[in-house]
Structure 1
Amino acid sequence: MKKEIINRILDLGGTFKEGLTLQECIEGIEFNHPLYPQELWGHELYGVEEFYDKKKDLYKQDKDRFYKSLISHFFSDHEIPYGQTFYRKRLFTPLTEGTNDYEEWSADFEDEEMTNLTEVKKVIGNGKLEFMEIAFSYSFPDGYYICLSDPNPENPTVFGTDHEVYFEEITNEGTLEDFLSKFYTKKEFLELVKNYIEKEKNSH
């Protein structure tokens, strides 16, 4: 996998174990905390107001401890709805006979009215339609996939779809490198939150 992707995974607080195949590389990525999307979370700062209100005494007593507590809270293994994205690595095989996905999805994937795979086929051509679901989120699209037959396994394309229009509408989210660049590192996250709290809560 591309060096820049590995470095970004590490910057985001994840770990990476190299594999021989694209699937093994995706399975070798681990995050023990959510990821915070810049476009969504950066405008709203979901949860920060509530956290500050609960911990403002600590903030006044010891800012360093306050910010350490904040980072520990937001970057822990939880699913509190803060508009974040969760990394996952679920194999999705709707056209592979003998799999549970095939039993559930094959008819839909063979029915052009039920799916629109144009964006996928622009990238993979006639490649096999086996995917890894790499992330889910609270926003649209809420599911992100990589096709295992991607012609560029060093930096594959990420596709988005949503449970309300599952594979009827698919968006090209750019390469995996592009996709990972859309999330905050802990350092970037902390700088944003500090700027907000210092200006909006304690400017007087």
Structure 2
Amino acid sequence: MSNTQYNPRPQGQPGQQGQPQYTAQPQPAAQKPEASFFRWIRESRVERTNDRVIAGVCGAIARELGWNVTLVRVLMVVAFFLGGFGAVLYGICWLLLPDELDHRILLEEVIDGHWDWSFVGVILCILIGGFSGFGFLWWGSWSVNMGACLFAALAFFLLVDNGRRRFAVRGAAQPGNPPTTPPANMPYGGAMPPQPAPGA
């Protein structure tokens, strides 16, 4: 007497009725909270512009100060030859200011393990400016131009702080529509690509 219910498939084989199927589900990557330093920079709304020759730093400075971008480029070149200040400032802004296209900060990307060849340009700018002009610290045959480094760091701080103050004043002038800041627990400050203007 033959058994019509016979199933030659072994127990536990995929596809057998009555056996639950377990498939590996990809786990979402844990999002790293945004560092307070990078959040402090993003809240200034000072960003490297798309009007660029190299990295858009002069465009960012011109937009923040309300100056002509060509004037800023000329001043940056002059400052480049005045003790290396311009080169260090350009390198610091290139490293720390967000790009207006994707709102990513180069240093934050490198820390997260996403290499960008632009980082080489940043290193060259800082090295050229930091080891040129009159050095205040001597290490063997190398002299570190601390004056240019300190003044560049101060100029960057004033630029970002001015942006934060300007944005805070704008928010206070419009209490019904205060400026929004991205959540601190989102990577890269929750920055989203710029949306096209309606009807554009």
- TMscore range, shorter length: under 0.3
Structure with the largest fraction of strand: 1
TM-score under structure 2 length normalisation: 0.26
TM-score under structure 1 length normalisation: 0.26
The structure number with the bigger radius of gyration is 2
